[in-house]
Amino acid sequence: MAISREEIEKVALLARIRLEDSQVGALEKDVGNILNLVDQLQSADTSSVEPLAHPLDATQRLRADEVTEHDQREAFQRIAPATEDGLYLVPRVIE
């Protein structure tokens, strides 16, 4: 599949990427090669392949659910500029 110079320039404009004229030709070739590879992958027969939820059949080792930090809420609340009923008060930013 080929991609035209105009399409490259349009995508660059939409992505807000500045391209020099010397870059467009090389980019046109590279993107064309990528699209050709995607076309090759699309033509592969995957009808007999089962979908995978995860590429490895391993189970995740889980650690014990234990509290490892002590509660520092009061210390953090003391140094905060404004708190009320255990909540941090912040300036309103949306009217």
What CATH number did the domain enclosing 25 receive?
1.10.20
* Residue 32 falls inside a structural domain: yes
What tokens were used for 85? Answer: 């009923």
Answer whether residue 59 is part of any domain.
no
pTM: 0.49
Helix (H, G, I), strand (E, B) or coil at 83: strand
Query: How many domains does the structure of the chain reveal?
Result: 1
Residue 38 in any domain: the answer is: yes
Domain of residue 32 covers 5-42
Q: pLDDT, tens digit, for every residue of 54-86?
A: 777 777 789 899 999 999 999 999 999 999 999
Would 25 be classed as within a structural domain? yes
Q: Is the pLDDT of residue 46 over 80?
A: yes
